[in-house]
Amino acid sequence: MKNFVSHSLEETSAIASKWLAGVFAQAAADQAMVVALNGQLGSGKTTFVQSVARALGVDDAVTSPTFVIMKKHKLVGTSHFKSLVHIDAYRLENGSDLGALEFEDIVADPGNLVLIEWAENVKSGLPADIEKIDFEYVSENERKISFAV
């Protein structure tokens, strides 16, 4: 496990780039890279996704998809992933709720990098052995961020 403490949005952004550099090596040829983002409200999950999106060249706004549940951002000119799929499962209740998002098709596409906030809400609908990132609120400007890759 790699543990970081971020003291600013810039540091969170640098940590997101580090994570991204490691995750390409874990990408499978036959299915999407699915990543669970765990941590309480305000711990920095959406901010981290915004940083990943910026690092991948996304220029449309990455807002919290709480009310739309899912947003897909097309990636141009990156080596492996073709889309960044951002899911916020805050308002979902169980794994079967993912069916409405055609989640199986999303997972079947190796071009997708899928980042899921509140993944614990839909755990039963997720593939086994997915990547995880843990977020923790430390103080107003400090967030702990931990991941394996």
Ligand X SMILES: Nc1ncnc2c1ncn2[C@@H]1O[C@H](COP(=O)(O)OP(=O)(O)O)[C@@H](O)[C@H]1O
Contact 135, 104 (CB under 8 A): no
Name which position in 33, 45, 83, 103 contacts ligand X (CB under 6 A): 45
How does DSSP classify residue 79? S
What SS3 state is found at 52? helix
Residue whose structure tokens are 């980042």: 115
d(C-alpha 97, C-alpha 89), whole Å: 9
44 scored as a contact of ligand X (CB under 6 A): yes
The token duo for 113 is 């990098």
Question: Is residue 141 involved in binding ligand X (CB under 6 A)?
Answer: yes
Indicate which single residue of 6, 12, 46, 50 sits in contact with Mg ion (rule: CB under 5 A): 46
Task: Specify the residue, 29 or 61, whose C-beta has the smaller distance to ligand X.
Answer: 61
Give the interface with Mg ion as residue ranges (CB under 5 A). Answer: 45-46, 64, 117
Give the interface with ligand X as residue ranges (CB under 6 A). Answer: 6-9, 11-12, 39, 41-47, 64, 117, 135, 141, 143
